[in-house]
């Protein structure tokens, strides 16, 4: 979870928070770093072993999607189809990331207010948030097109719903619109220092109604969640929704975030600690990356490897491709 509170406060509130790290025992890699207990982002990440397993499945599916999308080689007959990939563990055909703005994602905005009509963000903040989101993804294939209006719902239970709660499930099953390629954003006030959370593309099939991102209204541009009030929580959570892990996923060892050009990062970075090199065998941490935990004023980029992964993930699991 992206936590707004200082660490000391987060410690006190941790007992009330969902036990997000109670997953596989191999999550010990992230637990090994004390900051990981105080994730600001509630997106549930797999432990190392599960992530490796999921990655293998993803690569298999991606290969199938690509081979089904277009012939691997010009003139190749059926005999060169899947059988040609029989080497085991072969990489799929090279990925060509579509041009900027060529993949339009229909985006639904759900603003959750209290039953008394107190809302976490204004219309102008929401509109500015969409601008911030599109600016952040402007060098990627993705463009987020708001569909319909800014819909507001008065429900105090939903307003404070945390990740994995019954209230969250009820909210999403009542409100979610679109299919696997459509983004639903829920703007609420979950409390406990949570800034937001997301579902991964690979989760859609098993839990379609749960798909989407939830963000703290105060994290929207002009909100009070300083230094996380520049709108980058939404950018970060959409990064997850497209298939990106944290840059510190897996720590210094193993597959990490499965992106080749993001240096390994031992643990979340906070503030803007330029020059940090947390893993000896890897270059300096990319503290400017949207998928770390630094301040909104610090984070401003995705790497080209992340853009490629987002495309591959969302092509595979969300059928999102250039028009």
| Active-site residue, 237 included | yes
Cα angle 242, 248, 251 (rounded to 5 degrees) comes to: 135
- Residues 30, 92: Cα–Cα separation, whole Å: 30
Please report how close the Cβ of residue 184 comes to Zn ion at its closest, in angstroms.
17
Q: Which is nearer to Zn ion, 41 or 252 (CB)?
A: 41
CA distances 17 to 1, 31, 248, Å, are 10, 16, 22
Q: Which is nearer to Zn ion, 2 or 172 (CB)?
A: 2
Please report how close the Cβ of residue 228 comes to Zn ion at its closest, in angstroms.
12
Please report how close the Cβ of residue 70 comes to Zn ion at its closest, in angstroms.
33
Q: Which is nearer to Zn ion, 40 or 66 (CB)?
A: 40
Residues 6 or more apart in contact with residue 96 via CB below 8 angstroms? none
- The catalytic position among 30, 44, 168, 237 is 237
Please report how close the Cβ of residue 48 comes to Zn ion at its closest, in angstroms.
17
Of 41, 51, 161, 183, the one binding Zn ion by CB under 5 A:
41
DSSP class of 75 = T
Q: Which stretch binds Zn ion (CB under 5 A): 36-44, 113-121, 227-235, 312-320?
A: 36-44
> Which residue of this chain has its Cβ atom nearest to Zn ion in the complex?
41
Of 20, 21, 36, 43, the one binding Zn ion by CB under 5 A:
43
| Size, binding site for Zn ion by CB under 5 A | 2
Helix (H, G, I), strand (E, B) or coil at 57: helix
Q: Which is nearer to Zn ion, 43 or 125 (CB)?
A: 43
Which residue has 């997850």 as its token pair?
A: 240
Q: Which stretch binds Zn ion (CB under 5 A): 38-46, 151-159, 177-185, 272-280?
A: 38-46
Helix (H) or strand (E) holding 180: none
CA 220 to chain centre: 16
Q: Which is nearer to Zn ion, 150 or 290 (CB)?
A: 290
Please report how close the Cβ of residue 298 comes to Zn ion at its closest, in angstroms.
15
Structure tokens at 59: 């690569």
Strand partners, 198: 213
Q: Write the secondary structure of 247-312 as one string of H (helix), E (strand) and C (coil).
A: CCCCCCCCCCCCCCCCCCCCCCCCCCCCCCCCCCCCCCCCCCECCCCCCCCCCCECCHHHHHHHHH
- Residues 85, 108: Cα–Cα separation, whole Å: 39
- Judged by CB under 5 A, does residue 289 bind Zn ion? no
Residues at the interface with Zn ion (CB under 5 A): 41, 43
Active site residues: 237
């Amino acid at each position: 979870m992206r936590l707004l509170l200082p660490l000391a406060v987060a410690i006190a509130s941790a007992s009330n928070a969902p036990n997000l790290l109670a997953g596989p025992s191999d999550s010990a890699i992230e637990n090994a770093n004390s900051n990981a207990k105080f994730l600001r982002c509630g997106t549930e990440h797999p432990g190392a072993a599960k992530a490796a397993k999921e990655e293998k499945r993803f690569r298999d599916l991606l290969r199938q999607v690509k081979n089904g999308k277009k012939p691997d080689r010009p003139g190749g007959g059926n005999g060169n189809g899947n059988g040609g990939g029989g080497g085991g563990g072969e990489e799929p055909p090279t990925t060509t990331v579509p041009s900027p703005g060529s993949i339009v994602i229909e985006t639904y905005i759900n603003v959750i207010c209290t039953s008394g009509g107190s809302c976490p963000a204004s219309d102008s903040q929401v509109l500015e948030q969409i601008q911030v989101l599109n600016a952040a993804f402007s060098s990627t294939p993705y463009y987020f097109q708001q569909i319909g209006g800014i819909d507001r719902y008065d429900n105090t239970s939903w307003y404070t719903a945390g990740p994995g709660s019954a209230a969250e499930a009820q909210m999403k099953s009542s409100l979610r619109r679109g299919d696997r390629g459509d983004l639903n954003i829920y703007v609420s006030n979950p409390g406990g220092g949570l800034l937001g959370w997301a579902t991964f593309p690979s989760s859609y099939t098993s839990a379609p109604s749960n798909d989407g991102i939830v963000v703290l209204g105060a994290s929207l541009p002009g909100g009070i969640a300083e230094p996380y009030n520049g709108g980058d929580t939404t950018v970060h959570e959409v990064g997850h929704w497209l298939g990106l892990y944290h840059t510190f996923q897996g720590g210094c060892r193993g597959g990490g975030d499965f992106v080749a050009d993001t240096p390994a990062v031992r643990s979340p970075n906070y503030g803007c600690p330029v020059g940090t090199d947390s893993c000896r065998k890897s270059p300096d941490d990319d503290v400017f990356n949207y998928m770390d935990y630094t301040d909104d004023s610090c984070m401003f980029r995705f790497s080209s490897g992340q853009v490629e992964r987002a495309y591959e993930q969302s092509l595979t699991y969300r059928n999102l491709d250039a028009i």
